[in-house]
Structure 1
């Protein structure tokens, strides 16, 4: 399906009684070579701004759920915010140790889900999290930049109930949503495969609760 083999969680993580999180540079490499870089196997221009972003991918064996639904992935902007001063400092130190500095976005993937899902479902999950890793826009819809010329990054919520780009590429699943853009995307044959992943995204559930 892609130029690089799909990464799987390492055996030492899956078999360990102690390890619960493990940074995954190979997953970042795969995501960039599959979706982000120009010429990628499943290149998506919607992720072009991420060529200038630093991404940290992490596998986890910790089960998570919200609202009765399994959480299979989550995208967070860095530095972490919703915690006390010491908690935040501790989290920043741990993440910086993993990635030689804080990335712009931290993407956590459920290792148990990744071992059983199909390729199309895995691709949809990764792209869904990449869509959350957005470049901020001004009131006119123009992309924002920092004073040093870098994109200004932030977490993006869904276009409606899902990202239009995910529906365009993987299909709408049982419910299509309410905007014409989403309906138009759903009415066409999926570019990649027909799956639905929004209900398994921890970022979405945090945004809905906010």
Structure 2
């Protein structure tokens, strides 16, 4: 299954116009087949708590363009759908989910269509996995997943980033334990070979040389 591309209808939208969205069911299927399925080309056991059969756990949207938050361009976003509203406002938000997906998902992953259409296979896969890592499942002190007694399912939450620090602090005081771990992981090099990414994205293997 080749890496899905955004619909042309979104790519042709003027970036100065209001942002438009379209459900990305094909992208979600590719994500499940590529990263979640045990036989996926880029299978990652870190996502073992994400069930390919729980269709309501998360859904995916294409956005016609990125947005700016805290002076940074946001290319992807994972949100836990929990409308802070009542009455008609809450019903409107739920109706939008039903119109897009036919259900009310626990999480929504939104990807910038413009970026996705131009990003390299590696950068695109990194963005998708970044958003998947935000789908967290709570664990106990022994590392076992916590199960909700009412639903029998994992207790999902919006997982924060592993590391958040200022460049200046690291420069002046050195790397904290979490930053140092990130440095060590980077120095050890990527664990995914280009050939695996090529198979996942449908890239011609001749381009790997």
TM class, shorter-length: 0.7 to 0.9
Shift in Å, 1:155: 0.4
Shift in Å, 1:62: 4.1
Is 1:72 paired with 2:95? Answer: no
Which of the two has higher C-alpha Rg?
2
| Structure-1-length-normalised TM-score | 0.75
Shift in Å, 1:187: 2.3
**Map of 1:15 onto structure 2:** 12
Structure 2: 5+ residue runs without aligned partners?
166-174, 195-209
RMSD, matched Cα: 2.6
Is 1:113 paired with 2:112? Answer: no
Structure 1: 5+ residue runs without aligned partners?
163-175, 195-210
Q: 2:19·2:65 contact (CA, 8 Å) conserved in 1?
A: no
CA 1:190–1:161 in 2, change beyond 3 Å: closer, same or farther? farther
Q: 1:62·1:110 contact (CA, 8 Å) conserved in 2?
A: yes
Question: 1:133-174: CA deviations, max 9, x gaps?
Answer: 111223554321122321111100112239xxxxxxxxxxxx
Shift in Å, 1:177: 6.8
Tell me how many residue pairs correspond in the alignment.
Answer: 177
**Map of 1:84 onto structure 2:** 85
Question: What secondary structure does 2:50 align onto?
Answer: helix
User: d(CA) in 1 for partners of 2:181 and 2:48?
Assistant: 20
Question: What secondary structure does 1:149 align onto?
Answer: coil
CA 1:62–1:145 in 2, change beyond 3 Å: closer, same or farther? same
